[in-house]
Structure 1
């Protein structure tokens, strides 16, 4: 966390606050200059990320269907376009997947790529022109492994010959090996028909972007590399891609046993709620969001911050990429790394559920969702770590299949560990699930902020005793042994019925329940809309397992308020539409738990009718905002 004491920062590490500011600046400077809206995201903290902070960046684009197919032909030229090649980024992918130490900054500094967003923007614009004119047959980027992976991938089926001395360099002195594996940024490989080369070179020259022929695709199914007339590699493509035998490794997963919480339910939960709202993983990220341009291109329909003052946390982002169409693209994400400490399977399931329900919350349909996974893990050479990863993968497979939602892409970053003397700091197993959906009519989108006094507040879904890995347990010094699970059959029914209710305009606002559970979701909805709220926990559908220390029979208000059970929503409904809404939701668990008021008071009554939270929306909002108000 950013408030970590300098004394606790191990040798060779930068302070977390400096790391965070640097990451934000990097995303801001590159993204803003590219003219691409940075519209959705999340920021989470844990002490175990101190040696290996994780940064996920992803993009979404649209393209003609006809351009989605790649086919390289014999005789096509290998054209390298974009930036020059340098030593920056050599072994970047290898470095990012290896264990770090206090010497890494000086030894591996060359593995860090140096980006140039203006160059990237120019390349992108020109490539669109070249695409629309049909000037290339296939394209791929130079990512991990640089030319070695890009050329090796695009020439896999045919074979290719490359003259490495023709690659434009930033400076002299690079060996052919360095040229081949450099991961310098802003470079693409094109397969260009010979007859179309002059026109391609002409449009690249018009924007002062380099385009260089470095080779030709053959039909001998071999990778042939030459440097100044000498052959430096001549390898069979099948051997290159399939020659390495599959590695058989032992994976072990044993369910951990953590100490069970042994504290009683606080009588006044106001202070508890405020503490959770101010926590780094729940608090407002407006300081970050405002540095990113989410309005560029003028396509945003639902923004990352919404509400009466445009500072409430949106569940998802909606953009309208084609102005002549009402269709929109919804983007969301789900991440719950703390659940990995209990069971990586249900961590993965929860991440999928969160990403999906955030799309449902803004008006999306589960029938039009696709997912992307991004795994970050510790040293998978260790059987226990590999076992965790395998279990998380099974969770992805089972839940996505049950939801009938496909994974269309993904990535992984393994061996995220930092060695300090005899101690190794390993990140918690982390999975980011991103979701994307198409919305037929963006005018049907809804936001999470409360809209009108007198409207009713419902909770959709069932609350269970699932506080393991929750914000509440974490702030009390516990992990717990029961993290949230997912019932795909029941959840899918909830998603479909809620989507139908939103489509019928029976819902004014909707907010999903995630970190901090019901207490946080209610607070955000209230101060997001500038309206007070009165809520009664006795109306919440919950399992009777919510008992004090799992032994006494008294139901715990704090567990109901802060449970992070999946597949749940808070919904605002007008009184006139109450019957229609309840009819639409028939067959799934829901409860009428309260109403909105013009008064700023925020009150929650416990199961026994006693007042357990009493504050006002200004206090809630100020508490939520002040933590990262830098």
Structure 2
């Protein structure tokens, strides 16, 4: 039996959620809904008395200041407010909503043992003229996701089939592959969601023909996970036949047609190897890249993507995206403490018409809300500051959003490496295993289609930040006691990847029936490949197992011995004594056949066409500030706790009212030292439409100049690459990737900054019928730089009237891919290029001048050019400015006010300097391009004067701020 508890807000209490939902319903076009209410439902399953149920409701589930509750017996019908239509939503069988687990623990803490399970649901009430069909449409678009939830009929108040999961009866499954023809192999790969190509399927077939047997389903799944694009990066490591047809422009960097044996080694890895920076501790080996911080500690940094899961279930996909990348530093060396989160999102336009939305794709507004709240809830609950990121919009992300999540960790120098040895015990710690995340790695290695929502529903994981927080805390205790020899996280591929990688050099034997489960009914293969969250795998010496398990038990975290590492060189899996997998580790990790992919790139031939410039550019500037890619992301930023842990020195919003856009964040991880680090990012996919090479170089330039803008020198800087691309089996997509990779190589070498880690995500395309929406090739560069003294940080807000304004760097006629051209619907143009030698020299000199205290504020020029950068400095500082375009260093034949003001040339800064420091600042930058071009004014008005001294922009700072803040004030 069970009791049903309904929690509702008291009459007159304002509900921000319901008001937001009402606005979203109106945005969908349903104007007849006039009010919405929400009740939270808890089913208390077991044998509790009514007195116990009411005590649980009153003491645990209800905020008695603003909420009331009702308790119903199993056979009672809950009340519906007069004039409202109800709709109930409940989680599907097997979906473990974290609130259910924490509620059950809370009930145990009350001393009540009669409740043995808790299920949760939500009951919505709608007032107004809305039919059942419209109500279901609203629910599908805004209230639930069919992957993990169902609508519970209003007359069904019992749980009935919602808690019935059948037991699993062991049956060894053999997959007939030895005798299949090529078409049958392809069909098996497709229907089994293996996402392996025909050459890979043939390699598996040949292997088992030699063994004179067919594989088990578990063996086949293990190979699919290990060989997936997501896990092994086949495109970057494979052979590429590249053909190039570049234009005769001197701005096009010619790579030349060639066969590239390994794109990763030829570009990203090669740059790091050739630079040989002494502060690089561990690169491209562990779960994250490691650099030196000080004499006692190292820093590690990793950025991951969770695009496909977030497209299907935005909250869960992003929630587990940030949860997964937090475990990367935790699984680096012997475990790092996470101290900073970053996030970068790419969405479709928020006003994208519902009628244009492809079948199976979610509305961009819903995707953005779900993704932001997923990252927010996980990061905040973990107690890790989220202090750096970006949000971008483009129609090509409608079917496939991009969700980049990153984490920085700090670890003792003597805990920065690990080693697995035969004879050590395999221990899994943390969360339990469920069906969530089945085929996550392989699913992420294929294109999305309108059928993905139903075919790949199991690939979406369910996160529980509280469990991960407990795992983190106890792991650090175990690390400091030296209780384990190696650690890694269960990410893509679950146990199959974690144990398979740890035991690659020796071998492993696993008893799958010992793996703790969320619920019964899982097969041995589901246990092995599930990507259920919050799990780590440890290699533990046998004489330390008892102490380790006891430590975890006392901290209320599960730790279970499930096997051992062996010297057999084989991966052996058992279920209740039955061998279900026996694979040669050499074949698992080295048997992947190398294939050759064709790639081609041709410089686009787009004749530059732009309108004649206006005399008054004020409205253009205000319009740029209102463009979604430039406008304030305060709605997102304010949801994150960027103060937790108390080490955030430069926050994501700065200035007089703490609402100006900081270029980078600065963190001081130790309270006993002023030493810290800065983190920034560079991303602009629009440049890739014209030339991916200069897009990549520009992303690195942007990330580095943002570090300089907060006072970070480039002496100890490392970068990370994250490539999100379309289908690499299509030559044009792969050709663009090749150019971007070589852009990364050239820029990293020229700037002297090594790559320490990276990740790629391919097949980011959404296919519906004959229509395919491919994302623009998108590269995120994340940069981390060590600062000796965070007290020398600089922020971008204008500080004092009368100070001088310098424009540092050269402005060129580079409006190709610019936001200004997008606004005025212009075509073509030159993409911004990077003068590597000049840019590096300039950035080092500016950072040195900043360290000596010669500057008051610095802001880098990026989206929107000089005009937007100066406007942001004004609105952040609450001060005005005068700028004279005739004094800006220009390199180009035709000088135009709009070109100078809105060109997005790289390697440029606007710098505020006190008058008494003007000459010494100029001496510090001698040999680089800069010029005094204006001053800060007390009157809060931005005035920009054109080439002939005429006024071309004049607007109050309050108007600048309104234009910048209003578009995304609420989503």
For residue 701 of structure 2, the aligned residue among 353, 362, 365 is 353
Instruction: Out of 41-50 and 84-93, give the one that drifted further.
Output: 84-93
State the distance in 1 between where 2:918 and 2:857 align.
Answer: 14
Q: Deviations over 1:175-206 (max 9, x none)?
A: 22111111111111100001111111011101
State the distance in 1 between where 2:449 and 2:565 align.
Answer: 42
Conservation of the 8 A alpha-carbon contact between 2:515 and 2:527:
yes
For residue 80 of structure 1, the aligned residue among 420, 428, 434 is 428
User: Is 2:469 the counterpart of 1:129?
Assistant: no
State the distance in 1 between where 2:677 and 2:360 align.
Answer: 42
Q: What is the match of residue 198 of structure 1?
A: 546
For residue 114 of structure 1, the aligned residue among 462, 470, 473 is 462
SS at match of 2:797: coil
For residue 64 of structure 1, the aligned residue among 391, 394, 412 is 412
State the distance in 1 between where 2:490 and 2:815 align.
Answer: 44
For residue 922 of structure 2, the aligned residue among 570, 579, 582 is 582
Q: What is the match of residue 181 of structure 1?
A: 529
Conservation of the 8 A alpha-carbon contact between 1:259 and 1:478:
no
Q: Deviations over 1:299-351 (max 9, x none)?
A: 11000000000000000001111000001111111101111101111111111
Conservation of the 8 A alpha-carbon contact between 1:259 and 1:480:
yes
State the distance in 1 between where 2:596 and 2:358 align.
Answer: 35
Q: In the TM superposition, what is the alpha-carbon distance from 1:224 to its structure 2 partner?
A: 1.4
State the distance in 2 between where 1:400 and 1:82 align.
Answer: 39
State the distance in 2 between where 1:464 and 1:48 align.
Answer: 29
User: Is 2:659 the counterpart of 1:306?
Assistant: no
Q: In the TM superposition, what is the alpha-carbon distance from 1:164 to its structure 2 partner?
A: 1.3
Q: In the TM superposition, what is the alpha-carbon distance from 1:479 to its structure 2 partner?
A: 4.5
User: Is 2:668 the counterpart of 1:328?
Assistant: no
Q: What is the match of residue 143 of structure 1?
A: 491
- TM-score, normalisation: structure 1: 0.97
User: Is 2:563 the counterpart of 1:223?
Assistant: no
User: Is 2:918 the counterpart of 1:570?
Assistant: no
Q: Which has the larger radius of gyration?
A: 2
Q: In the TM superposition, what is the alpha-carbon distance from 1:55 to its structure 2 partner?
A: 0.7
Q: What is the match of residue 523 of structure 1?
A: 871
Conservation of the 8 A alpha-carbon contact between 1:470 and 1:479:
no
Q: In the TM superposition, what is the alpha-carbon distance from 1:481 to its structure 2 partner?
A: 4.0
Q: What is the match of residue 550 of structure 1?
A: none
The structure carrying a bigger strand percent of its residues is: 2
State the distance in 2 between where 1:476 and 1:212 align.
Answer: 62
Q: Specify which structure has the bigger relative contact order, considering alpha-carbon pairs within 8 angstroms and separated by 6 or more residues.
A: 1
Q: In the TM superposition, what is the alpha-carbon distance from 1:390 to its structure 2 partner?
A: 1.3
User: Is 2:521 the counterpart of 1:170?
Assistant: no
User: Is 2:881 the counterpart of 1:533?
Assistant: yes
Instruction: Out of 589-598 and 203-212, give the one that drifted further.
Output: 203-212
SS at match of 1:42: strand
SS at match of 1:478: coil
Conservation of the 8 A alpha-carbon contact between 2:511 and 2:573:
yes
Q: Deviations over 1:89-121 (max 9, x none)?
A: 011122223211222222212110000000000
Q: Deviations over 1:370-399 (max 9, x none)?
A: 111111000111111111111111111111
Matching of residues 400-411 of structure 1 within 5 Å: 400-411=748-759
For residue 948 of structure 2, the aligned residue among 608, 614, 620 is 608
Q: In the TM superposition, what is the alpha-carbon distance from 1:484 to its structure 2 partner?
A: 0.9
State the distance in 1 between where 2:616 and 2:593 align.
Answer: 61
For residue 558 of structure 2, the aligned residue among 210, 213, 220 is 210
For residue 42 of structure 1, the aligned residue among 390, 397, 415 is 390
State the distance in 1 between where 2:861 and 2:557 align.
Answer: 48
Q: What is the match of residue 368 of structure 2?
A: 20
Conservation of the 8 A alpha-carbon contact between 2:611 and 2:826:
no
State the distance in 2 between where 1:246 and 1:481 align.
Answer: 39
State the distance in 2 between where 1:294 and 1:271 align.
Answer: 34
Instruction: Out of 246-255 and 128-137, give the one that drifted further.
Output: 246-255
Instruction: Out of 169-178 and 409-418, give the one that drifted further.
Output: 169-178
SS at match of 1:63: strand
SS at match of 2:386: coil
State the distance in 2 between where 1:611 and 1:297 align.
Answer: 48
User: Is 2:659 the counterpart of 1:319?
Assistant: no
User: Is 2:857 the counterpart of 1:509?
Assistant: yes
State the distance in 1 between where 2:924 and 2:677 align.
Answer: 26
State the distance in 2 between where 1:85 and 1:344 align.
Answer: 41
User: Is 2:825 the counterpart of 1:477?
Assistant: yes
State the distance in 2 between where 1:479 and 1:307 align.
Answer: 36
Q: In the TM superposition, what is the alpha-carbon distance from 1:71 to its structure 2 partner?
A: 0.9
For residue 486 of structure 1, the aligned residue among 826, 834, 841 is 834
Q: In the TM superposition, what is the alpha-carbon distance from 1:478 to its structure 2 partner?
A: 3.4
Q: What is the match of residue 932 of structure 2?
A: 592
For residue 747 of structure 2, the aligned residue among 399, 403, 406 is 399
- The count of aligned residue pairs is 622
Conservation of the 8 A alpha-carbon contact between 2:649 and 2:666:
yes
State the distance in 2 between where 1:98 and 1:151 align.
Answer: 24
User: Is 2:772 the counterpart of 1:424?
Assistant: yes
Conservation of the 8 A alpha-carbon contact between 1:378 and 1:416:
yes
Conservation of the 8 A alpha-carbon contact between 2:631 and 2:964:
yes
For residue 341 of structure 1, the aligned residue among 683, 689, 698 is 689
State the distance in 1 between where 2:836 and 2:524 align.
Answer: 53
Conservation of the 8 A alpha-carbon contact between 1:36 and 1:297:
yes
Structure 2: stretches of 5+ with no match in the other structure? 1-348
Q: In the TM superposition, what is the alpha-carbon distance from 1:259 to its structure 2 partner?
A: 4.1
State the distance in 1 between where 2:652 and 2:913 align.
Answer: 23
Conservation of the 8 A alpha-carbon contact between 1:136 and 1:192:
yes
Q: In the TM superposition, what is the alpha-carbon distance from 1:477 to its structure 2 partner?
A: 2.1
SS at match of 2:409: coil
For residue 617 of structure 1, the aligned residue among 953, 957, 963 is 957
Instruction: Out of 266-275 and 167-176, give the one that drifted further.
Output: 167-176
User: Is 2:445 the counterpart of 1:97?
Assistant: yes
